[in-house]
Amino acid sequence: MILFLMDIVLFLIGLYAVVAHRNLIKKVIGFGIIEYAVNLFFVLAGYKTGADAPIFEKNIPGMIFVDPLPQALVLTSIVIGLGVTALMVALCIRIYQHYGTFDVNRIKDLKG
């Protein structure tokens, strides 16, 4: 239980970084933290104490495995996260070329 709560705290730290930081790159890093927290949550959901890696062997009876499905899902979600982060950073570079700054308070051509 304590692990899950700490994971939620990690999620909130990421959310705080996205919302409160003024620097675009720090926002991207905050998004990275959110991503890790969610992936960790998924892996924790499939974790069992004292269980083994999910590789089936015939000779060992009564072995317990961790749930392999979340691990497969997390791999997919990491790849998606990589794509999104790459696009974000690329866009940050473009914004820097146009505005000459990473500060969100000075990037406001559009009125909210």
Partner 1 sequence: MMNAIILFVALPLFAAFLLPIMGKFFKRGFDTFIFLVVLFLIFLSLYMLIKPPAMPYVYKMGGWPLPFGITWLLDSLSVFMLFVVNLITFFAAVYSIDYMKQYTCKWKYYCLLMLLLAGLNGVALSADLFNVFIFLEITSIASYALVAYGTGREETEASFKYMVLGSVASAFILLGIAVIYAKTSTLNMFDMARAMPQGADSLKLKLFIATLFITGFGLKAALVPFHSWLPDAHPSAPAPISAMLSGVVIKVIGVYALIRIMFNIFSLNPVISELLLALGGLSMFVGVVLAIGQWDFKRLLAYHSISQIGYVVCGIALGTPLGIAGGLFHLLNHSVFKSLLFLNAGSVEYACGTRELKKLGNLKEDMPHTSWTSMVASLSIAGVPPLCGFWSKFIIIVALFQANRFFYGSLAILVGLITLGSFLKVQRYIFYRKLSGSLLKVKEAPVFMCLSMAGLAILCVLIGIFFKPILDNVLIPASQSLLGGREYFITLLGI
Residue 77 found at the interface with partner 1 (CB under 8 A): yes
Tally of CB atoms within 10 A around 91? 12
Query: CA 35, CA 51: separation in Å to the nearest integer?
Result: 26
Return the sign of the alpha-carbon dihedral for residues 110, 28, 89, 77. Answer: negative
Residue 69 found at the interface with partner 1 (CB under 8 A): yes
- Closer CB to partner 1, residue 15 or residue 54? 15
108 in helix, strand or coil? Answer: coil
- Closer CB to partner 1, residue 50 or residue 83? 83
Residue 92 found at the interface with partner 1 (CB under 8 A): yes
Query: CA 21, CA 104: separation in Å to the nearest integer?
Result: 9
Query: CA 4, CA 105: separation in Å to the nearest integer?
Result: 35
Residues 17-56 that bind partner 1 (CB under 8 A): 18, 24, 27, 31, 34-35, 37-38, 41-42, 45
State which amino acid sits at residue 62: G
Q: Return residues touching partner 1 (CB under 8 A).
A: 11, 15, 18, 24, 27, 31, 34-35, 37-38, 41-42, 45, 67, 69-70, 73, 76-77, 80, 83-84, 87-88, 91-92, 94-95, 98-99, 107-110, 112
